[in-house]
Structure 1
Amino acid sequence: MNIERIGLIGYGEVGKIFSAGLRGQPGVVATAAWDLKLANPATQAAERAHAQAAGVAAQPSMQALCDASDLVISAVTASNTLAVAQEAAQTIRPGALFLDLNSASPGTKQQCAALIEAAGAHYVEAGVMTSVPPYGIRVPMLLGGAKAAELALLLTGWGMDARAVSERLGVASAIKMCRSVMIKGLEALVIESYTMARAYGVEDQVLPTLQETFPSIDWSAQGAYFFSRVVQHGQRRAEEMREAANTVREAGFEPLMAAAIAARQQWVADQARAGVFAEVGKGARWQDYADCLLAARPKP
């Protein structure tokens, strides 16, 4: 497998990390990115400056990115997964690889694969198994598809933690989505439980009982981390959980929990958008986030 030019669709947190981290890997001569923010007058100057400083070529369109890439990596929000594959399929080069990092249901990934492979390219799904920033390009990933094993071999040669789990599309995404129900569910539960404990003034009684039941977890530190990540990325998480709900439906069940988790994640995202957490700084305690939510409650 010969990959010389890599293109990232999506130049957000993950796109920035991957495009910079893959630059200069053995055999890679160029990395490029395309994002709607690169064409938006309100954001393009800052985004293009970031790309230039990182040594990443900012492409003027998705077509330009696909034309110039042997490996196209889709790193967008869950709700845009299928739309990106639809657009990329129109211009991706036959024989190119399309690696889909997005958190989407098995059914969505299978639809994407049909589009990409009808264009003569090769589709590989990825289940990214934890938050990217602490790991960078070494974040654990599960790959699926006919080219999954071959691509995993290449990526591990670049120091990445990629493992092929199945030639059948949907398996890697199913693993990811099942895990997401648990992890994003814990985030939603902690935010709701801790905020209510703060409202009733009983956090000093509640958290020690959690510590006693699950002594390996620092519940105060974990709470602060969960709050901070959801405040920063609640919109993305809500979209992922709506895909998790689709995964549950595709299995023939009603997504009671997944839908509720999506709603709580969306609620936090809406609060953040409204400026509720504007005064919360880096390294804040969970109590600081909870107090902001309590202060923003509708008055009786």
Structure 2
Amino acid sequence: MTDGNRKIAIIGFGEVGARFSKEFVASGLKDVTVYDILFDRDATRHPLAQAARSNGVSIAGSAAEAARDARIVFSAVTAASAYDVAAQAGGYLRPGQIFVDLNSVSPATKRKDAAAVEQSGADYVEAAVMSPIKPYGIKVPITLGGKASAEVKRVMDGTGMKLTLGDNEIGRASALKMCRSVMVKGFEALATECLLAARLYGVEEGVLESLQRSYPGMNWEDFAGYKIGRLLEHGRRRAAEMRESADTVAEIGMTPLMASAIAERIDWVADAVDQRPALREAPDAEWRNSLDQLAEIHRLDRLGSTER
């Protein structure tokens, strides 16, 4: 593996993997390979492979194949799968390679991931994604942690990535991300619960008007649409991330009262969206209509509970 090697592998082809792979190629990287377990399933293989080809990236038959000879291997999977992917990587990576963990998991999980990867002789770097991917793509602010962080920054220089060097101690960048998430996803859960209850009472306009008077620096109409929209589109994943935030709070010796409640509310929204998948594509500006559909599901749930 030469010092000039810029082959990139991405494990996971969801929102992050698909967006990053496309923009890496657009930035001038010539050798980008992706793998996702959904490539192995009949129902999802064709559309994902088509998307990967349109991004100009190569498709591997396994994570090990994707990572072969890659200088940097990005892991962009679900929180629940993060350790399994890291543990598998510990079996196929080689010295000189760097595993960059983009996943939103607790500091303890990051340290566990690092230990698994470093058994191979490869380096481990945690990456805390500090803003939503959607508006930024590879320009999203990312804080790196670990001894090989500077090398990741050097290799990715020129791609447009916004990488900040954090602490060498694994877990600190994750703590930064996960504590921030309590606030960010808390806003989303609060906006959804507040305005759904207000809508059911028929007082949502009064609530918004009062908030606008109290906090005139914010556009509460747009805030409501964006925050509710995030849960409708990515609720299940965000609930899993909030449970990791709850673990982060617990790992420092605090009881995660708020973080756990936030995860529970987000999971409720995700369950509702599973019943009406079209809500995932609902425009943010139509958040009142989305809340009406959530309200109907709420009424049906209550009716079902009464009948039971």
Q: Which of the five TM-score ranges fits, normalised by the shorter chain?
A: over 0.9
Answer whether contact 1:100 1:125 (CA < 8 A) is retained. yes
Output one character per residue of 1:258-282: Cα deviation in whole Å (capped at 9) or x when no partner. Answer: 1111111111111111116559743
After superposition, the CA RMSD in angstroms is 1.6
Partner residue in 1 for 2:273:
272
Output one character per residue of 1:48-80: Cα deviation in whole Å (capped at 9) or x when no partner. Answer: 111111111111111111224221000011111
Q: What does 1:166-205 align with in structure 2 at a 5 Å threshold?
A: 166-205=167-206
Distance 1:39 1:106, change over 3 A: same
Which residue identity does 1:50 align to in structure 2?
A
Partner residue in 2 for 1:124:
125
Distance 1:168 1:280, change over 3 A: closer
CA-CA distance at 1:24 after TM superposition:
5.3
Partner residue in 1 for 2:250:
249
TM-score normalised by the chain length of structure 1: 0.95
CA distance in 2, matches of 1:243, 1:226: 20
Structure 2 SS opposite 1:127: strand
Partner residue in 1 for 2:238:
237
Partner residue in 1 for 2:288:
287
Output one character per residue of 1:208-256: Cα deviation in whole Å (capped at 9) or x when no partner. Answer: 1211222221111111111111111001101100100110111011111
Answer whether contact 1:89 1:115 (CA < 8 A) is retained. yes
CA distance in 2, matches of 1:188, 1:249: 20
TM-score normalised by the chain length of structure 2: 0.93
Answer whether contact 1:3 1:71 (CA < 8 A) is retained. no
CA distance in 1, matches of 2:6, 2:44: 29
The one of 3, 15, 23 equivalent to 1:21 is 23
Structure 1 SS opposite 2:100: strand
Q: What does 1:1-300 align with in structure 2 at a 5 Å threshold?
A: 2-23=4-25, 25=27, 28-275=29-276, 277-278=278-279, 281-296=282-297, 297-298=299-300, 299=303
Higher deviation after alignment, 29-38 or 191-200:
29-38
Q: Percent identity?
A: 41
Answer whether contact 1:78 1:103 (CA < 8 A) is retained. yes
Which ranges of 4 or more aligned residues in structure 1 deviate by more than 6 Å?
none
CA distance in 1, matches of 2:162, 2:5: 18
CA distance in 1, matches of 2:234, 2:138: 19
Output one character per residue of 1:103-137: Cα deviation in whole Å (capped at 9) or x when no partner. Answer: 01111000111111111101000110010010010
Answer whether contact 1:156 1:162 (CA < 8 A) is retained. no
Structure 2 SS opposite 1:73: strand
Answer whether contact 1:224 1:286 (CA < 8 A) is retained. yes
Distance 1:196 1:24, change over 3 A: closer
User: 1 or 2, which has the higher helix percentage?
Assistant: 2
Structure 2 SS opposite 1:23: helix
Answer whether contact 2:273 2:280 (CA < 8 A) is retained. no
CA distance in 1, matches of 2:211, 2:287: 15
CA distance in 2, matches of 1:111, 1:150: 22
Structure 1 SS opposite 2:134: coil
CA distance in 1, matches of 2:148, 2:201: 54
Structure 1 SS opposite 2:156: helix
Output one character per residue of 1:2-32: Cα deviation in whole Å (capped at 9) or x when no partner. Answer: 4421111100111001111112545x33101
Count of residues in correspondence between the two structures: 299
Which residue identity does 1:204 align to in structure 2?
E
